[in-house]
Amino acid sequence: MIEVVAALIWDKEKFLICQRPKDKVRGLLWEFAGGKVEPGETREEALIRECREELAVTVSVGVPFMDVVHEYPDLTVHLTLFNAAIAEGLPQKREHNDIRWITPEEIPHYAFCPADKTILQKLREC
């Protein structure tokens, strides 16, 4: 099982989503910013590093919003989505095909990675 972290970053009533590069597994699907936890890192440290690498922002990491385990055909992930806030910088497309700010009502207009399905349902209910 792979430990994965992601950031739920809000700007008023909208949250940040990122579109995976087309040449990667699950290409062009939408997801939250984040990635794998490296050996020796805490989940919070991994999230700060990933947001810096992917979006060129520094985030402050809050409490977990939710975590899920999802089995893909090629791997199983334990995904922890943290509440986070941008402490410094403006999000940039360093690794993703696109980035957007959306409201929970707009979720159905985007094709997300399957691991995010339960999280997205909870966001729509909040």
Give the model's pLDDT for residue 45.
98
| Assigned CATH topology for domain 2-125 | Nucleoside Triphosphate Pyrophosphohydrolase (3.90.79)
Residue 13 — very low, low, confident or very high, per pLDDT cuts 50/70/90?
A: very high
pLDDT at 25 > cutoff 90: no
pTM, two decimal places:
0.94
Mean predicted confidence (pLDDT) in 4-31: 95
**The token pair that represents 75 in the structure block:** 């791997």
Give the model's pLDDT for residue 77.
96
If you compute the radius of gyration of the chain from its CA atoms, what whole number of angstroms results?
A: 13
**The token pair that represents 105 in the structure block:** 């009502």
Give the model's pLDDT for residue 126.
79
pLDDT for 81-126, tens place per residue?
A: 999 999 999 999 999 999 999 999 999 999 999 999 999 999 999 7
Identify whether the C-beta of residue 123 lies closer than 8 Å to the C-beta of residue 13.
Answer: no
Domain regions of the chain by residue span: 2-125
CA angle 55-1-93, nearest 5°? Answer: 10
pLDDT for 29-74, tens place per residue?
A: 999 999 999 999 999 999 999 999 999 999 999 999 999 999 999 9
